[in-house]
Chain A
C-alpha cells in the first residue's frame, strides 16, 4: 500500500463541469467542454464532445469517434496499465473497469497519494469487455447507481433463459429487446448466443455502427441484419426472433411496424417491477452494467481505501453503510449523470 502524505481533498475538487484535478488542470468525465479531459468510458453522460484534449483508452477514443465524427480534440491514447505524465509530475494510468468495451478506472498518483476514479464499473462477468481489476488506493471514487440492498443482480444465464422460454410460447411474435447502443446491446447478443439462440438478430439502425466496431475488435455476435432493411412481407421473418433497438422505441411508433411485437427491456432497473411497467416492457430482463449493492461494498473494501467519494446514484445508502463499516465516505453529488442510461 502506498504511504499517503497528502489529503486528496486539497488537490481534487468538485466544480460545475465535474471532478477536477487542480495540479494537473484536468477534469475526469466532465459534462461540459474543458481544456483537458480524462474520459473513463464512451457512454454519453461521461464522454462528451468539445474538449481541447482527451485522454482515454484507445477503444474509448474509437467509440467517441463513432459518436462524434466532427469532434477533433487532441487525443492521448493510453493502454491499460501504461503510465502518462500529467502536469506537475502527476502520474495517470488506466485499469479495466468491466463496464463496457474500453472502460477504465482512472488512477491518479500525486505526492505518494493514489486516488482511483472508477467511473462506472461492474464485477459480474461480461464476454464483451475486460473484467474489472481491483487497484488498492488511498481514495476511491465510486458510483452508487444501484446502491440499495434491494439490488442484487441475477445470473445472466437465468435472464437469457426467460427470453428463450418466451420465444417458445410466443413463436409468432417479434421479441423486441430495448438496449442501449454501447455495451448493453453487444452483451445481450453475446449472452443470447451463449444461451443457444441461433437465429439472426435484427438491429435498429442506431445500433449498427457500434456493433460493427465491436466486431472489428474480434467480438463475434453471429448473424445479424439491419431491421430497417426488411420491407413489407419480408418483415414477417422477424416473428419468433429477436430484434434489438434503443429503449425509446419500445413504446414508440417504430415498434408498431414489427409483426406482433413483444416488448422487452434489458436494464438493471428492471429489478423493480414498477420501473419495468413504466417502460411498457412485457418482460423485464435484469441485465446491468453497474455493480450491485454487494459488489459496491466488496469493491470498496478490496481497494482498502480510507476515503471513499460517492459520485452519483443512491448515495445516502452507500454512505451510511460504509460509515457503519468505519470507512470515511462522503457524497459528491455530481450533476449531469443520467442514470436512465443503463
Chain B
C-alpha cells in the first residue's frame, strides 16, 4: 500500500499529462505482479467492486470522534475521505501490523471478509496508516479516485512500454481483466499477446477530418461518396456476442450501465458503430436530454421512459466473429442493413443516406441542418470505397459542420490555465447584457486564440484586475470577445439561464466598446 499511496499522491498533484504518464510508467516498471495490475485497474476505473461502502468509513468516524469537531473539520476540508484520512484517531487498543499489506493483499483480504470482517479490517488498516495512505485506501475502497488521469492516458502508458500503437492496447483492453497479469507478461516480453477471442471487444473508432471547402468539395460526387446527417448525440460502439452486450464510448469507456434499455434490445453477435441519441414519440431529443441519461450510472425506470435511448447505426465492424473492417463502406452498409432486418427498429435505426446530385445540393442540406438548433451538427461525407481504419485516415470521411453562431460577449472573469499555461490567465468567463444593463455570464472558453493573443489578453487582464475570488480574477468589464458556439440551450448552470455548446474565442474585439456587445435577448432568440 505504501507504493500505491505514494503513486496516487504524485499523480494527484502533477498537472501535466506527460509527467503523469512518466510517473505511472515508472511505477509499472518497478512494481511486481499482481500489485501493479490492481493499481492499473484502480486508476483506469476497471475495478468491478467496492471494497467497502462509503458509509462505513463515515460511521466509524462518527463513533470515534466528537461530532462537533468532526463537523467543523468536514466543513473546513470539504471532502469526506480526506477529512477522515486526516482526522482518524487510532483505536484505544490498536492491532499494530509489522508491515502494511500490499495492494493485492488488501484487495484479496477485503473480498474474503464478511460484513463484520470488512469493518474490523478497515479499522486495522486505518490505525496503521499515515494520512496519505488512508486517503489512498478510502479512495480505492469506494472507487472514487479522482487523480485526473483518463483511461486513454493509462493505455498510452502501456502502449509506450511495449512500443506499440495505442490502438493495439485499445483492442486488447476490454478483453482483459484486472490484475492484468497476462498483459504485463506480454509487455515484459515473457509471452505472446494475450488471446482475447471470445471476449467482448472494443475496436478503436474511425474518425473524420473537417472538410476543406476549397480543396475537398471538388472530389465529392454521388458516385463516389455517401452523405449522411451528422447527429448531435454521442458516438458509441455496440459490441455484442452470444453472452453479453456492451456499449462503449468513443474513448472506449464502458457506458452500458447507463443504457440498459439499449443493451436489452440487442440480439446479435456483432460490433456496430453509430450515434447514441434519445428518441421519444416527439422525435429525436437534444444532446441535453441525452446528457441526463449519461449522468446516471443506474437510470430509474422513469428516466428511461421519459428519455428512451436510441441508436442510429452507420457502420458495422464485425459480424459473428468475422472482421468486416477491410470491406468497402458500401459492402459494410449492406451487411448493416441485413442485420437491421431482425432487430428492434424502434430503438435501432440506420443513418439514412441523403440523396444529392451536386455539391450545391449538399450546401442546401447543410443550411437545413443549420436551422435544427444543434440537433444536426451538419453533414458527414464518406468515400464509398473506404475501409474501416481506426484513427483519422485522410480523405476517407469528412465532417462538414454548420457554421457556428457568433456573439460579442464581454470578458468578466479570468482564471489561470493548467500545465504550460499555469502562469497565464487563459480561462475566460464572459457575459451578455440583460435589460437592466447588468452583465450575466453565459459561458467559459479557454481556446480559439493563438499563443500571441494569449499573451496580449494575459497582459490586459493584469492591468485591469478588480476583486479576486480564490483562483478567479474579476476584471473590468471592458474587453469584448467574439465568441463562437455550436448551439445554445437553457441551463441553470449560469446566472443568465443559458449555456453554450462548445464555446470558443473566435476573435478578440480590441476595438469594440463593451457597451456595444450583444444582449441576452439576442441569445434567447437562438433558442426556439
Contacts and interface: CB of A to CB of B under 8 A. Distances in A.
Given A280-B416, A280-B422, A149 B76 contact: no
Contact of A276 (B13, B66, B70): B13
Given A151-B86, A170-B19, A281-B13, A256 B76 contact: no
A316 B422 contact: no
Interface string B1-43: 0000010001011110001001100100000000000000000
A215 interface: no
B511 interface: no
B507 to A, nearest CB: 26
B249 interface: no
Contacts of A271: 86, 131
Contacts of B87: 148-150
Given A252-B423, A253-B423, A280-B422, A320 B69 contact: yes
Contact of B423 (A152, A256, A316): A256
B416 A251 contact: yes
Interface in B81-111: 82-83, 86-87, 89
B106 to A, nearest CB: 21
Per DSSP, are chain B's interface residues mostly helix, strand or loop, or mixed? Answer: helix
Contacts of A284: 13
Nearest to A278: B471
Given A169-B22, A280-B422, A283-B13, A148 B130 contact: no
Contacts of B471: 278
A89 to B, nearest CB: 43
A148 B68 CA distance: 11
Interface in A261-311: 263, 271-274, 276-278, 280-284
B198 interface: no
B79 A274 contact: yes
A321 interface: yes
Nearest to A280: B422
Per DSSP, are chain A's interface residues mostly helix, strand or loop, or mixed? Answer: helix
> Among the interface residues A149, A151, A324, which one has the most CB atoms of the partner chain B within 10 A?
A149
A274 B130 contact: no
A314 interface: yes
A144 B163 CA distance: 54
Contacts of B70: 149
B189 interface: no
A237 B251 CA distance: 41
A170 B423 CA distance: 20
Nearest to A170: B19
Interface string A153-180: 0100010000001100110000000000
> Among the interface residues B15, B78, B422, which one has the most CB atoms of the partner chain A within 10 A?
B422
A317 B82 contact: no
A255 interface: yes
A192 B89 CA distance: 30
A148 B79 contact: no
Contacts of B69: 148-149, 317, 320-321
Contacts of B65: 149
Given A149-B65, A251-B422, A273-B82, A169 B13 contact: no
Nearest to B462: A253
Contact of A149 (B14, B73, B79): B73
Given A150-B87, A169-B23, A320 B68 contact: yes
Given A282-B14, A316-B72, A317-B69, A150 B77 contact: yes
A314 B14 CA distance: 30
Contacts of B130: 154, 158
Given A271-B131, A274-B79, A283-B13, A150 B73 contact: yes
A148 B423 contact: no
Contacts of B78: 274
Contacts of A314: 72, 76
A284 B12 CA distance: 10
Contacts of A277: 13
> Among the interface residues A158, A273, A280, which one has the most CB atoms of the partner chain B within 10 A?
A273
B112 interface: no
Contacts of A263: 422
B416 A282 contact: no
Interface string A320-333: 11001000000000
B268 to A, nearest CB: 47
Nearest to B135: A273
Nearest to B422: A280
A174 B12 CA distance: 20
Given A149-B65, A263-B422, 9 more contacts: A150-B73, A150-B77, A256-B423, A281-B13, A282-B13, A282-B19, A284-B13, A316-B72, A317-B72
Interface of B: 6, 10, 12-15, 19, 22-23, 26, 65-66, 68-70, 72-73, 76-79, 82-83, 86-87, 89, 130-131, 416, 422-423, 470-471
16 contacts: A148-B73, A148-B87, A149-B73, A151-B86, A169-B23, A251-B423, A255-B423, A273-B82, A274-B79, A277-B13, A278-B470, A280-B416, A282-B15, A284-B13, A317-B69, A321-B69
Interface of A: 148-152, 154, 158, 165-166, 169-170, 251-253, 255-256, 263, 271-274, 276-278, 280-284, 314, 316-317, 320-321, 324
- Nearest first, the 7 closest Cβ-Cβ pairs linking A and B are A150-B86, A149-B87, A150-B87, A150-B73, A317-B72, A148-B73, A282-B13
